[in-house]
Structure 1
Amino acid sequence: MTDDPAQSRVGALGGTDARGQPAEKLNVYRLDPVAQLDDPRWDNAPNHGVVRVRALSPADARIVAAEAEIDFVDIDAKPGDGTTTDSASAFRDEKLYSVSLENETEQPGKRGLI
């Protein structure tokens, strides 16, 4: 199998080039809560208000925001024993949070919360 230079390799997401700069263009995205405060979906995940992230795409913005949340395996709380709650993040639900491009120009810095 040969490497195709036009396609990034698996695991290259958020990598850096030879100069230490991000290998791909990072934009600023804004995640806004869109559901009403009395929406029952908020019972499953907390409302964090407006969040800004530096990410590769709108989908990546949801992942970046979800990764910044505290997971149950990071603290002494149930569910424990290796059970993760990453996929239960409110940021992953399009009915709770919308994602909009705030700044399309390349932003210096690392992929993550701003």
Structure 2
Amino acid sequence: MSLDYYTVLRSSRTSSFEEIKRNYKELIKRYHPDKQVVSSDEQFKLIDAAWKTLRDEELRRKYDAVLMEKELEEQYLVCGNSYAINKNFVGNECIIECEECSYVIVVRA
């Protein structure tokens, strides 16, 4: 998976708001353009964009959903088949088995 906002802020999806905020403050001090001899505008902008998304509860929830969707798209079966889940199971934790091979995935919502 490519670089994501959690990685930018040296956090994870399970990090608390306070932990993300603390990391943001440390990074913003380090990469602020006024503090740099060599320009780090791009890094500063990336840190700021990550913070603006992850500090807002609704934006963070949407961002997490996009990450989860990308992760699920990256999961593939060796046999070439695909996983399917009934919409009634969305929101619950469940194990989905491939009908063709022995692969299984755990879906947590």
The structure carrying a bigger helix percent of its residues is 2
Structure showing greater radius of gyration is 2
Under TM normalisation by the shorter chain, which class is it?
A: under 0.3
TM-score, normalised to structure 1, is 0.25
The structure carrying a bigger strand percent of its residues is 1
Q: Which has the higher contact order (CA 8 A, sep 6+)?
A: 1
TM-score, normalised to structure 2, is 0.26
